[in-house]
Amino acid sequence: LPRMRNCAKQTSFNGSEGKRSRSGRYSGSDSDSISERKRPKKRGRPRTIPRENIKGFSDA
Protein backbone atom coordinates (compact mmCIF):
# COMPACT_ATOMS: atom_id res chain seq x y z
CA LEU A 1 0.00 0.00 0.00
CA PRO A 2 2.66 2.60 0.95
CA ARG A 3 4.50 1.97 -2.31
CA MET A 4 1.36 2.56 -4.36
CA ARG A 5 0.70 5.79 -2.45
CA ASN A 6 4.26 6.99 -3.13
CA CYS A 7 3.78 6.29 -6.85
CA ALA A 8 0.52 8.25 -6.82
CA LYS A 9 2.22 11.22 -5.16
CA GLN A 10 5.11 11.11 -7.62
CA THR A 11 2.67 10.96 -10.54
CA SER A 12 0.85 14.07 -9.30
CA PHE A 13 4.18 15.89 -8.89
CA ASN A 14 5.38 14.73 -12.30
CA GLY A 15 2.12 16.07 -13.80
CA SER A 16 2.82 18.23 -16.87
CA GLU A 17 1.04 21.16 -15.18
CA GLY A 18 3.00 21.05 -11.92
CA LYS A 19 6.32 20.34 -13.62
CA ARG A 20 5.91 23.06 -16.25
CA SER A 21 4.87 25.73 -13.75
CA ARG A 22 7.67 24.86 -11.30
CA SER A 23 10.39 24.35 -13.91
CA GLY A 24 9.38 27.64 -15.53
CA ARG A 25 9.61 29.55 -12.24
CA TYR A 26 12.83 27.90 -11.04
CA SER A 27 14.39 27.38 -14.47
CA GLY A 28 16.87 30.20 -13.71
CA SER A 29 18.16 29.32 -10.22
CA ASP A 30 20.04 26.06 -9.78
CA SER A 31 19.73 26.30 -5.99
CA ASP A 32 15.94 26.20 -6.32
CA SER A 33 16.20 23.03 -8.42
CA ILE A 34 18.32 21.39 -5.71
CA SER A 35 15.87 22.40 -2.97
CA GLU A 36 13.02 21.07 -5.09
CA ARG A 37 14.78 17.70 -5.33
CA LYS A 38 15.44 17.67 -1.57
CA ARG A 39 11.76 18.27 -0.76
CA PRO A 40 10.57 14.83 -1.97
CA LYS A 41 13.43 13.16 -0.08
CA LYS A 42 12.44 14.92 3.15
CA ARG A 43 8.90 13.62 2.70
CA GLY A 44 10.28 10.07 2.48
CA ARG A 45 12.70 10.38 5.40
CA PRO A 46 10.11 11.13 8.11
CA ARG A 47 8.40 7.82 7.27
CA THR A 48 11.61 5.97 8.21
CA ILE A 49 11.86 7.81 11.55
CA PRO A 50 8.36 6.75 12.75
CA ARG A 51 9.26 3.16 11.89
CA GLU A 52 12.15 3.37 14.36
CA ASN A 53 9.77 4.68 17.03
CA ILE A 54 7.42 1.78 16.32
CA LYS A 55 10.31 -0.67 16.74
CA GLY A 56 11.17 0.95 20.07
CA PHE A 57 7.59 0.48 21.23
CA SER A 58 7.65 -3.17 20.16
CA ASP A 59 10.85 -3.76 22.16
CA ALA A 60 9.36 -1.99 25.18
Asked whether residue 28 is assigned to any structural domain, the reply reads yes
pTM for this entry? 0.13
Asked whether residue 4 is assigned to any structural domain, the reply reads no
- The pLDDT tens digits of the residues spanning 10-44 come to 555 445 545 555 555 555 555 555 555 555 555 56
User: What is the residue range of 44's domain?
Assistant: 21-60
Asked whether residue 50 is assigned to any structural domain, the reply reads yes
Asked whether residue 11 is assigned to any structural domain, the reply reads no
Per-residue confidence (pLDDT) for residue 9, from 0 to 100: 55
Asked whether residue 15 is assigned to any structural domain, the reply reads no
Overall number of domains in the chain: 1
State how far the Cα of 21 lies from the Cα of 18, in Å rounded to an integer: 5
Asked whether residue 13 is assigned to any structural domain, the reply reads no
